[in-house]
Amino acid sequence: MISYIIPCYNEEKHIRECIRSIKSDIQYIQYEIIVVDNNCSDNTAKIANEEQVTVIEEKRKGVVFARQAGYENAKGDLIANIDADSKITKGWVWVALKQILKDDVIAVTGPLEYENSSSSLKLLTKIFYWAANISNKYVGVFLQGGNSMIKKSALDAVNGYDLNIAFYGEDTMTAKRIQHLGKIVFEPDLISISSPRRINEQGLVKTIWLYLINYLSVTFKGKSLTNDYKDHR
């Protein structure tokens, strides 16, 4: 069984499309969708309930707390982490299963593509994920938090997520904590289409810089450099 976990903070504009992209991709597989209401003040929970998925609340602010709450309530043996402002592409689940059902693989992750992105953003995104793929082969700690599938047994072995990192680097820390249990595969065809709102709000250079320095810090020092973040939602 696959448990799709969707952390949410005021995602009424995106959550229905996100949920429906998952439902349209699933055939002949037992699954559940868990929407984690992380202090929403809009209609996110109402819309999710209309879509007949499980909705739970997590009052502690931060995506890692929402992921942990989803993981603790999940019934599946596979945890699929999807961002609420994203849509998975057709065939996503089969691409993920092809990798994660291998005995030596504990997680599979893939790239984000951004809606209505400029040519410069497309180019930089390709370069970023090319570097991420190389990093995964030699360092083994790249994980795209909102576009991944992890064996629940791997998370069980480390008691879930590291709650000391609220946002930047939380996915890298997850990879770092479970990498001794098996392979983390970067699969270029495991694509999720995401909103570019954070990039539009912060600017491309700043966004890349924040992700890069926190990735390196968590990878080599075991801690994030950026403790706080602004919700661009």
Domains belonging to the chain, first-starting first, are: 2-221 (3.90.550.10)
Nearest by Cα to 204 from 130, 114, 131: 114
The token pair that represents 148 in the structure block: 């991944």
The candidate with the shortest Cα–Cα distance to 10, out of 112, 115, 84, 88, is: 84
Report pLDDT digits (tens) over 160-214. 999 988 667 889 899 999 999 999 999 999 999 998 777 777 777 777 777 777 7
Residue 222 in contact with residue 177, Cβ under 8 Å? no
| Cα–Cα nearest to 148, from 131, 127, 132, 165 | 132
- Cβ-based burial of 124 (10 A; exposed 0-12, middle 13-18, buried ≥19): middle
Q: What is the pTM of this model?
A: 0.90
Amino acid in the structure at residue 120: S
With residue 133 as reference, give the H or E element that holds it.
helix 119-138
Tell me: the pLDDT tens digits for 97-151? Answer: 999 999 999 999 999 888 877 777 777 778 878 877 777 677 657 888 899 999 9
